[in-house]
Amino acid sequence: MNRHNGATSGRRPKAIDVAPLAIAILSVLALALTVQTLPQRPADPARAKRLEWFRDAKYGLFIHWGLYAIPAGEWKGKRSLGLGEWIMNRSKIPVAEYEPLAKQFNPVKFNADQWVQLAQDAGMKYIVITSKHHDGFAMFKSAVSPYNVADATPFRRDVLKELADACARHGMRLGFYYSQSQDWHEKNGAGNTWDFGPDQGPDNKELKNYDAYLRSKAEPQVKELLTGYGPVALIWFDTPRMMTPERGQRFADIVRTSQPNTLIDGRLGTEGDYRSTGDNVIPPEASTEAWETPATINDTWGFRKDDTNWKSPGQITFKLVDIVSKGGNYLLNVGPTAEGVIPPASQDILRTVGRWLKANGEAVYGAGTSPFGEEYGEYTARGAKDVRGQKLFLPQTEWRVTSKPGKLYFTFFAELRAPFEIPAMKNRITRAYRLADHAPVDLKTENGKTTFSLERPMLDPMATVVVVEFEGQKIER
């Protein structure tokens, strides 16, 4: 027991005082336990406010578009493996050979309104587009560097400005990806070892004048993005190589002073507003802090003409509901061609998921996490390891749960072979119905267990949602 408990100091408890004393001690213990289980970051009301729209949005469109769409995965007649936007790095293309791609960049089929319309049809609530990827080429008119779409190409149009105006017309939020650390076009940026040598020596000593690059290009370009394109929903920084907390803070200060409502993602190098998972990584369990999974619709971000490994609409829908049930956002990428066309296959997939969301969006937008968790799967008890050598997680993918006050949304991704048993809870269940057509679902309660069955074939074989209403706001287990 805590003899130095301030709540009892100066008092000598008599027998009759034991109850308040016990309560005081218990509340101190409870406080200590709460503090331990709270997320590490301190409560920040301004951040919570900034994040409100983001937490409700759940689903965004990522767009990777730049000069790399021209080679589209092939350099000098040879396939360059890996991510399309990494071709300069993977094929060790010197700046002197990559830079002239700008003279070929003329995406005459680019139509910002059509892209925003696609995102809207897809049921996406925000767009994030590459303003400058690791190759250093800016997709906006920049006074900081002539290596940009308006000054170095025959197209001469400010792509980001057109997109920002279209988003404003459609009421769509727009954020910018900006590669703050890697810049393969600049001798002092990180990453271009083939033209400019290694970034760091064996002792991590910096061999380039990295701060000169940050101050002369990255920082002023981020400032341009935050001053010339209307309200910016977020800045999506990436790969924080050599980003010390001080350097990260310089970017954070630029964002906060230019647009205090703009969110900072989780890859700046200093604390952002939300956590970014690894690329294509969906965590195994739910979390209450704001987070986002950036993900590819095939296996590349920037367009590759040979990548047709599209995820199906059913796979995308599962990932979206899985992520929402764990408290996160899904930022799903498309890679437009050098002509300015979003590959028709990815458009079809997005629109199919969008049609599902039209009927079932209530289970997604603004929805909270699952109060259960057993549906996610479990770690293997047999000692198998995953490819990274971590304990293997065996996911279950039959169903997921999202929630709103008084409501649970059970989404089924496969037909039920037996009546579905609602996980045990203290709340009384009042009724159940299919979300898409509001058809009632019969509930059976026996021995304190409530079950229901779904008609076969399922209403929507891709994903059928059953709403279960219960007494009270929150599930008590």
In the complex with ligand H79, the residue whose CB is nearer, 58 or 64, is 64
SS3 call for 258: helix
User: In sequence order, what are the residues at sequence separation of 6 or more whose Cβ sits closer than 8 angstroms to the Cβ of residue 63?
Assistant: 115, 127, 128, 129, 130, 333, 334, 335, 336, 342
SS3 at position 260: coil
Indicate the residue among 128 and 363 with the shorter CB distance to ligand H79: 128
Nearest approach in angstroms of CB 443 to ligand H79 is 44
3-class SS of residue 388: coil
Q: Which residues of 47-76 are buried (b: 16+ CB within 10 A; e: fewer)?
A: beebbeebbebbbbbbbbbbbbbbbbbbbe
Cβ 279 to ligand H79, closest distance in Å?
5
Residue 309-338 contact track with ligand H79, rule CB under 6 A, x = bound: ------------------------------
Minimum CB separation of residue 177 from ligand H79 in Å reads 7
Identify the residue among 111, 117, 216, 239 touching ligand H79 (CB under 6 A).
239
How many residues bind ligand H79, per CB under 6 A?
Answer: 11
* Nearer CB in complex with ligand H79: 307/460: 307
**Least Å distance between CB 237 and ligand H79?**
10
Q: Which is nearer to ligand H79, 293 or 450 (CB)?
A: 293
User: What is the pattern of x (binds ligand H79, CB under 6 A) and - over residues 291-310?
Assistant: ---x------x---------
What's the closest the beta carbon of residue 468 comes to ligand H79, in angstroms?
37
For 306-323, b where at least 16 C-beta lie within 10 A, e where not — what string? ebeebbebbbbbbbbbbb
What is the CA angle 301-307-313, rounded to 5? 80
Residues 209-238, mask of contacts with ligand H79 (x by CB under 6 A): -----------------------------x
Q: Are 127 and 147 in contact (CB under 8 A)?
A: no
Residues paired with residue 296 on neighbouring β-strands, in sequence order: 333
DSSP 215: I
Q: Which is nearer to ligand H79, 304 or 434 (CB)?
A: 304
Least distance to ligand H79, CB of residue 470, Å? 39
Site string for ligand H79, 407-446 (x = CB under 6 A): ----------------------------------------
What is the closest distance, in whole angstroms, from the C-beta atom of residue 418 to ligand H79 in the complex? 41
Residues 267-286 that bind ligand H79 (CB under 6 A): 279
Residues 69 to 108 in contact with ligand H79, rule: CB under 6 A:
82-83, 85-86, 89-90
Residue with tokens 């727009």: 174
User: Tokens 């293309």 — which residue?
Assistant: 93
Beta-bridged to residue 420, according to DSSP, are 452
Q: How far is the CB of 432 from ligand H79 (least distance, A)?
A: 40
Asked whether position 366 contacts ligand H79 by CB under 6 A, the answer is no
What does the alpha-carbon distance between residue 205 and residue 408 come to, in Å, rounded to a whole number? 54
Of 162, 144, 177, the residue nearest 65 (C-alpha): 177
Which residue is at the shortest CB distance from ligand H79? 82
Q: Which residue is listed with tokens 């047999």? A: 382
Half-sphere exposure of 80 (CA within 13 A, CB side): 25
301 or 409: whose CB is closer to ligand H79?
301
Residues at the interface with ligand H79 (CB under 6 A): 82-83, 85-86, 89-90, 238-239, 279, 294, 301
